[in-house]
């Protein structure tokens, strides 16, 4: 099935111009190729695990905070709205958004930093690269190939950033980092939707946890006026709903601005195809200068007020220790991993490939949910 192409802009990705899958497959009957990508992502094991992976708050801290799963759904929702307004490929942007964090370790960024440190001698650990590794290699559920065999366009979107060292080894999806070319507009959009989503839901979760207050938020120049207006319009509104109204307004404003600024940038560059988009010296999906500045200020605010908050830092330190302990214990005795992982690591280590064996351990740890990582830590400590 192909998209109703008259509804898509000439610079949107289309199945007809897709660079295809690594292993050829017959076309799907009822869906487009990008819809099939999305469905494979939703059916993957890594996707289901996102429900028990930390965004900012560790899973056991409360049932109402965002997890990687609800974060990914919010990214997809924001990206789809903007994609439709810009006549981009909504199915593709949805697939990229749902897959973008599949490679995340347990315990959010703290877990990733710790694993990167453990892997320093063996090529490091980058979560974007790991998301691609999950869909290209680690998922194991199809008879004819390893991974999910996604289209080039979805894989390109998943690999947001990448060091040149790694880009060299990646083939087709690594090329653009070496050639300094752009990704397609759907990939650019999913990237910014990610930032809009986490900035806003972290404000919401920050307020809910009590670690961030409305008074603190009102110190930001661009939030003072909306907060005052919300209180004036609804004088008896309880603080929790003042926060919800504020977040709702911020998301709406950011998405409207993103669509308007991107539409203007697209009109100015006037690309007639995805290849023309890729060849441009800069991306076209971006907020206006004023809102880019606001996004930056909000990001800094969240870093100082929330991510550096002693309670979050305490969790961060615990996460770091857990990941290090897991890595050291599993490297010291591969048999503490399930049979298949243990056999792979042992075979590589015996062949003298230390980095390969370390990567098996890193893949195993990265795939863990928060609670499985904690359970494994406890049983390793107990010597079981
Ligand atoms: Mg994300």
Measured in angstroms, how far is the CA atom of residue 308 from the centroid of ligand 1?
A: 19
Measured in angstroms, how far is the CA atom of residue 193 from the centroid of ligand 1?
A: 9
Measured in angstroms, how far is the CA atom of residue 141 from the centroid of ligand 1?
A: 25
Measured in angstroms, how far is the CA atom of residue 191 from the centroid of ligand 1?
A: 8
Measured in angstroms, how far is the CA atom of residue 16 from the centroid of ligand 1?
A: 29
Q: Which residues fall inside 5 Å of ion ligand 1, going by CB?
A: 101, 194
Provide the 10 A C-beta neighbour count for residue 113: 18
Q: Which residues contact 239 (CB under 8 A, 6 or more apart)?
A: 214
Q: Which residues contact 111 (CB under 8 A, 6 or more apart)?
A: 54, 104, 105, 319, 320, 322, 323, 373
Measured in angstroms, how far is the CA atom of residue 235 from the centroid of ligand 1?
A: 36
Which residues of the chain, if any, have pLDDT below 70?
1-6, 59, 384
Measured in angstroms, how far is the CA atom of residue 382 from the centroid of ligand 1?
A: 34
C-alpha span between 119 and 126 (Å, rounded):
10
C-alpha span between 168 and 68 (Å, rounded):
29
Contact 227, 242 (CB under 8 A): yes
Measured in angstroms, how far is the CA atom of residue 108 from the centroid of ligand 1?
A: 10
Contact 184, 157 (CB under 8 A): yes
C-alpha span between 84 and 198 (Å, rounded):
21
Measured in angstroms, how far is the CA atom of residue 128 from the centroid of ligand 1?
A: 10
Measured in angstroms, how far is the CA atom of residue 339 from the centroid of ligand 1?
A: 32
Contact 285, 185 (CB under 8 A): yes
Q: What is the 3-state secondary structure (H, E, C) of 183-251?
A: CCHHHHHHHHHHHHHHHHHHHHHHHHHCCCCHHHHCCCHHHHHHHHHHHHHCCCCCHHHHHHHHHHHHH
**Which residue ranges form the domains of the chain, and what is each CATH number?**
5-311 (1.10.3210.10), 312-381 (no CATH)
Measured in angstroms, how far is the CA atom of residue 194 from the centroid of ligand 1?
A: 5
**Alpha carbon distances (Å) from 52 to 211, 369, 371, 372:** 22, 5, 7, 9
**Alpha carbon distances (Å) from 238 to 210, 252, 347:** 14, 21, 61
Contact 162, 128 (CB under 8 A): yes
Residue 224, both tokens: 């003072």
C-alpha span between 216 and 205 (Å, rounded):
14
Measured in angstroms, how far is the CA atom of residue 228 from the centroid of ligand 1?
A: 31
Measured in angstroms, how far is the CA atom of residue 34 from the centroid of ligand 1?
A: 20
CA end-to-end distance (rounded Å), the chain: 52
* pTM exceeds 0.85, yes or no: yes
In this prediction, residue 245 carries a pLDDT of 96
Measured in angstroms, how far is the CA atom of residue 276 from the centroid of ligand 1?
A: 27
Measured in angstroms, how far is the CA atom of residue 130 from the centroid of ligand 1?
A: 13
Measured in angstroms, how far is the CA atom of residue 100 from the centroid of ligand 1?
A: 6
2-9 own/partner pairs: CB under 8 Å, 24+ apart: 2/32, 3/32, 3/89, 3/91, 7/87, 8/87, 8/88, 8/89, 9/86, 9/87, 9/88, 9/266
Measured in angstroms, how far is the CA atom of residue 74 from the centroid of ligand 1?
A: 10
Angle at 45 between CA 42 and CA 51, to 5 degrees: 75
Measured in angstroms, how far is the CA atom of residue 78 from the centroid of ligand 1?
A: 12
Contact 90, 98 (CB under 8 A): no
């Amino acid at each position: 099935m192909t998209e109703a192409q008259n509804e898509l802009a000439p610079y949107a990705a289309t199945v007809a111009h897709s660079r295809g899958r690594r292993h050829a497959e017959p076309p799907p009957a009822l869906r487009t190729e990008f819809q099939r990508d999305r469905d494979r992502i939703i059916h993957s094991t890594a996707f289901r695990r996102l429900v028990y992976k930390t965004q900012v708050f560790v899973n056991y801290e409360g049932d109402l905070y965002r997890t990687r799963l609800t974060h990914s759904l919010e990214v997809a929702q924001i990206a789809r709205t903007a994609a439709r307004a810009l006549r981009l490929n909504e199915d593709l942007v949805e697939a990229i958004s749902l897959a973008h964090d599949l490679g995340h370790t347990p315990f959010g960024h703290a877990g990733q930093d710790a694993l990167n440190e453990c892997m320093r001698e063996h090529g490091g650990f980058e979560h974007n690269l790991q998301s691609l590794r999950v869909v290209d290699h680690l998922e194991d559920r199809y008879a004819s190939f390893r991974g999910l065999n996604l289209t080039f366009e979805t894989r390109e979107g998943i690999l947001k950033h990448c060091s040149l060292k790694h880009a060299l080894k990646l083939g087709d999806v690594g090329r653009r980092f070496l050639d300094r070319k752009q990704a397609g507009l759907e990939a650019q959009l999913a990237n910014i939707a990610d930032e809009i989503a986490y900035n806003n839901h972290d404000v919401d979760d920050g307020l809910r946890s009590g670690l961030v207050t409305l008074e603190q938020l009102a110190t930001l120049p661009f939030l003072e006026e909306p907060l005052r207006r919300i209180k004036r319009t609804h004088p008896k509104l309880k603080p929790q709903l003042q926060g919800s109204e504020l977040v709702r307004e911020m998301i709406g404003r950011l998405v409207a601005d993103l669509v308007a600024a991107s539409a203007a940038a697209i009109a100015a560059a006037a690309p007639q195809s995805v290849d023309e988009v890729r060849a441009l010296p800069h991306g076209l999906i971006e907020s206006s200068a004023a809102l880019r500045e606001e996004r930056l200020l909000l990001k800094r605010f969240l870093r100082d007020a929330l991510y550096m908050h002693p309670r979050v830092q305490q969790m961060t330190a615990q996460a770091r220790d857990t990941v290090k302990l897991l890595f050291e214990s599993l490297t010291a005795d591969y048999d503490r991993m399930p049979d298949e992982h243990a056999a792979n690591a042992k075979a590589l280590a015996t062949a003298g490939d230390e980095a390969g064996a370390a990567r098996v351990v890193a893949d195993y740890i990265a795939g863990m949910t928060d609670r499985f990582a904690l359970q494994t830590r406890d049983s390793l400590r107990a010597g079981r």
